[in-house]
Homo-oligomer: A and B are copies of this chain.
Amino acid sequence: MDTTSADTVSAPIPFAVLGLGRMGRLYAETLRDRVPAARLIAAADPDPAARAAFAVEHPGVDLFADPVDALDGVDAVVIATPTRTHHPLVIAAAGAGRAIFCEKPLALTVDDTRAAIDAVDAARVPLQVGFMRRFDAAYVRAKALIDAGSIGEPIVFESVGRDPFCPRPEYADPVQSGGLIVDMAIHDFDLARWLMGREVERVSAEGALLVCDDLRAVGDIDNASINLRFTGGALGHVEVSRNAFYGYDIRSEVLGTEGALTIGQHQQTPVVLLDRQGAHHDVVPYLMERFGDAYRAQLDAFVTCLRDGSTPRVTGEDGLAALAIAVASTRSQRAGGQPMTVADVLSDTSDD
């Protein structure tokens, strides 16, 4: 019998997950099952019921009510708490010297985002923001084709992001989430910058509450249409919706000077039923069916950065830039579609 030892293989990196809502549980599960180089050893949530349920699924993980307590003894944290609490936890984790993976956005305002980035910079810890789409096979391929010159110079960006159900008002409340545009379109804004290789200069947005009546109480909208103007005159557009009851509909396009790319499709399972009523197939149901592999890949990439000391592919500055576009768009939408510049948002210390 041959025997092998593990000496040459690095020990897994100990992680804590902060926040055990939907995203926190997703990150925990991904770390446990699909990122062998990480080991989930701690988790935190103020809700005892959430902790109890988590304990059943993740035996052996230490659980805390206060997320700051979970920072002890880990090398890295995943911050998946409610959005408003992201930046204080980034600052706390940086202060404790932990590597930080933070769900988008880092904060709801430019000032708070900058404070988080400053803390990270001061502590010289790695920070990655959770724009998982950059790790999706389709978007990765599109980026590679653009970089290879397949469509010439990219000049028009289009993106559609639609969720399959109305959110709970407590979640969607703009005070908690930043509102529809910050919560959803921020992913498209990050893609816009990344795929176009340009910054957004000016935006104008229309929005309305059309379907999800429960959101009226918290003052949010459920649909928005946002025009983008990039440096150099390139154009873009993002449409987001809470009410695509047929499925999770994420698609983007880039038109270049020599060609174009379309990214995303409706069909999930490659089966088509043909009957007297026509042809029928299913539709991507929701987030994990579409981006489950991307969630794994972004954590893998983060862990790789921790191991080899490289800089995460999605930085705090990326998080700030996408937030600023979202804040400008939200202001434009509230101002009846008046164009807003991103520079104004970045220089305005009183941003909402």
Which residues of A are in contact with B by a Cβ distance under 8 Å?
A: 1-6, 8-9, 32-34, 36, 51-52, 55-56, 58-64, 69, 137-138, 141-142, 145, 150-151, 155-156, 158, 160, 162, 202, 204-211, 223-229, 233-237, 239, 241, 243-247, 249, 253, 255, 257-267, 269-283, 336-339
Contacts and interface: CB of A to CB of B under 8 A. Distances in A.
Nearest to A157: B225
Given A246-B278, A273-B261, A274-B283, A227 B229 contact: no
Nearest to A277: B280
A271 B262 contact: yes
A60 B1 CA distance: 12
> Could you say how many copies of this chain the assembly holds?
4
Contacts of A234: 208, 210
A336 B138 CA distance: 34
Contacts of A207: 235
Nearest to A267: B279
A4 B213 CA distance: 41
A281 B272 CA distance: 10
B261 A204 contact: no
Contacts of A205: 227
Contacts of A225: 156, 227-228, 235-237
Contacts of A202: 206, 336-337
Contacts of A339: 204, 336-338
Contact of A261 (B62, B142, B274, B283): B274
A36 B40 CA distance: 15
A210 B279 contact: no
A244 B255 contact: yes
A151 to B, nearest CB: 7
Contacts of A62: 1-3
A150 B273 contact: yes
B259 A229 contact: no
A328 B69 CA distance: 58
Nearest to A9: B59
22 contacts: A2-B64, A3-B62, A5-B59, A6-B60, A9-B59, A33-B34, A34-B34, A138-B269, A141-B269, A145-B271, A151-B273, A156-B239, A202-B337, A204-B337, A205-B227, A206-B229, A208-B234, A243-B255, A259-B274, A264-B270, A266-B279, A279-B283
